[in-house]
Structure 1
Amino acid sequence: MGGFLTVRARGFTLVELVMVIVLLAIVATISVRFVALSTQGAVDVGSRQLRSFSAVVISEHVSRALREALPGSIRVNGDGSCIEWMPVVAVSNYLNLPGDSNPDSFEAAPLAGGASASGRVVVYGYGSNLYSTVSPGAVSPEATLPAGASPVTVTFDGGANHRFATKSPERKFFVIEDPRTICQQGSFLFRYRDYGIQGTVAAALPATMPTREVVAGNLVPGSLNFEVVPPTLQRSGVVSFRFQVQSQQSGEVTSVSQEVQVRNVP
């Protein structure tokens, strides 16, 4: 008679089951740790990129503003946390400067492209206090440079009178807007405008929008510092500034330093 082969099913023993559970736990722990480290690494990289981007935006904003500054108009406050300047909006050449005691206009070459400009007129401000509008002096009251064929007549607004103390060797004059100021307060960077000409830096700055604008946040308090090397007739001026940006999540800090050349054109 032929025999029958009997196969008995065999399951896992308790020891084998425990070993499998332990191995799975080890693998799961390693996997979770790997995913956590990878995620934290991605978050840290993103935070550093965000700080770097914020630092670049701040540096570029300040640099562009100062490149438009009237040479000699840049000044800082005592602790270097604020910088003030007068933006140049137009440059042209005058044909004559009146010599009478109360001039209210002068003739000039028109701007290219038929443009016009309004603001204060500055003639050869080197060695002068550009934050004083006394007559005679380098800075005039508000004036209008109209469009038109040469010559055009630059007229002081409201019938005002002004005499310029010094002539320019190149007969050059600037049309400027009222001063701007950038200051750090706490962790914020603010930009101020439309507050008029003040005797000292940050003396009477606006407290609300729209004349006070937020430029950036997350700065390390007290980290912003401006230093100015004034221009001379032989070289341009240089503004150096440094600041620190801090991550709110990790507390990491990115330090930035920058220099801006202010072109010197008599």
Structure 2
Amino acid sequence: MRRISDLATSRGFTLIELIVAMVLTGILAAAAAVFLRVPIASYFDVARRAALTDIADLAVRRFSRDLQTALPNSVRVAGACGGAGLCYVEFLEVRTGGRYREEPSGGATSCPIGAGVYTDALQIGNADSCFRSLGQVPDLATIVSGGAGDFLVVYNLGPGFAGADAYASGGVTGGNKSRITAATAGANAEDQISFQTLIFPLASPSRRFQVVSGPVTYICDPATQTLTRQWGYAITAAQATPPAGGNSALLATGVSACNFTYAPNAVAQRNGIVSIWLELTQTDPAGTPERVTLFSQVHVSNLP
């Protein structure tokens, strides 16, 4: 038989001891929660800010790269920019470009270029439909020709300049813009560009031409908290807000406010600055809004 003293030494916890242990554990857990809540909340706040910053940074980088391809003097801004209103930035996207020959090197001065008919000059002030480039045209194979193809533009000065505004004729040949009908690689590092017959009124001082693929618009809509890129629609003389048709891609969400401005050089107009201001907002589980603001300026070359 076991002795009474053995039974006394082998007994378990009493109810009072169990309650005391539970109370002490609860106190320790509550203290730990209080001390850990701040660093944990800070971690999620930092992660949320980093995510917002990444979204804004990627959108601005894409925007900036696109603006580097803008046709000189083609950037224009419309809408209620500067806060919670819709804001639009539009420009004509340059696919490629080069230099044209001012004087023919011999032979006839009419198109088409072919056997026995050699002309390689762009006739400014006279009806013309083809020329040869001075040197190879970069990315010649990417030029889209035909009914819905790219446009040839010479000496674009922008709105307010008769015969030098690529927007003025809309989506058809006119002014300083003509639809390209063919782009053919040539010999001696000279490529042939054919286009719908047009009288280009003004010569580029540096004999430059650009091939324009079409308009691109960036749309900031704080009501839906989105930043969207739209392209593939027709050129219009007046800026459409929003553009009709084409394709679109969502670049950023959570956009609560934005402002786009364009400031061309007031003296020489050889360059301009596009300022981009974005505010992105995300709400934490407690309902507190977290905001990130990003500002960037992009240099735009306006040398036609």
Both proteins in one fold, TM over 0.5: yes
Match of 1:230 in 2: 264
Match of 1:25 in 2: 26
Between the aligned residues of both structures, percent identity stands at: 26
Which residue, 79, 104, 108 being the options, matches 2:129?
104
Residue 148 of structure 2 corresponds to residue 142 of structure 1:
no
C-alpha separation in 2, matches of 1:135 and 1:178: 13
Distance 1:147 1:259, change over 3 A: same
C-alpha separation in 1, matches of 2:299 and 2:34: 50
Q: Deviations over 1:25-68 (max 9, x none)?
A: 22111112334433322221111110011110111111111111
Match of 2:230 in 1: 192
Q: Deviations over 1:185-218 (max 9, x none)?
A: 22111111111111222346246xx712211111
C-alpha separation in 2, matches of 1:135 and 1:17: 91
C-alpha separation in 2, matches of 1:70 and 1:143: 20
- Does structure 1 retain, via aligned residues, the 8 Å contact 2:180–2:193? no
> 1:227 deviation in Å?
0.6
C-alpha separation in 1, matches of 2:53 and 2:125: 57
- Does structure 1 retain, via aligned residues, the 8 Å contact 2:124–2:203? no
- Does structure 1 retain, via aligned residues, the 8 Å contact 2:79–2:241? no
Q: How does 1:20-169 map to 2 (within 5 A)?
A: 20-80=21-81, 81-95=87-101, 96-99=121-124, 101-111=126-136, 115-116=140-141, 117-118=143-144, 119-126=150-157, 127=161, 128-133=164-169, 137-149=175-187, 150-156=189-195, 160-169=196-205
Question: 1:111 corresponds to which letter in structure 2?
Answer: Q
C-alpha separation in 2, matches of 1:86 and 1:32: 57
- Does structure 2 retain, via aligned residues, the 8 Å contact 1:110–1:147? no
How many pairs does the alignment contain? 254
- Does structure 2 retain, via aligned residues, the 8 Å contact 1:83–1:201? no
> 1:124 deviation in Å?
1.2
Question: 1:106 corresponds to which letter in structure 2?
Answer: F
Residue 252 of structure 2 corresponds to residue 213 of structure 1:
no
Question: 1:109 corresponds to which letter in structure 2?
Answer: L
Q: Over aligned residue pairs, what C-alpha RMSD do you find?
A: 2.9
Distance 1:61 1:99, change over 3 A: closer
**3-state SS of paired residue (2:30):** helix
Unaligned stretches of 5+ residues in structure 2: 82-86, 102-120, 145-149
- Does structure 2 retain, via aligned residues, the 8 Å contact 1:124–1:138? yes
**3-state SS of paired residue (1:214):** strand
Distance 1:215 1:136, change over 3 A: closer
Match of 1:239 in 2: 274
Distance 1:113 1:259, change over 3 A: closer
- Does structure 1 retain, via aligned residues, the 8 Å contact 2:125–2:202? no
**3-state SS of paired residue (2:128):** coil
When normalised by structure 2's length, the TM-score is 0.73
Q: Which moved more, 1:62-71 or 1:133-142?
A: 133-142
- Does structure 2 retain, via aligned residues, the 8 Å contact 1:233–1:264? no
> 1:114 deviation in Å?
7.4
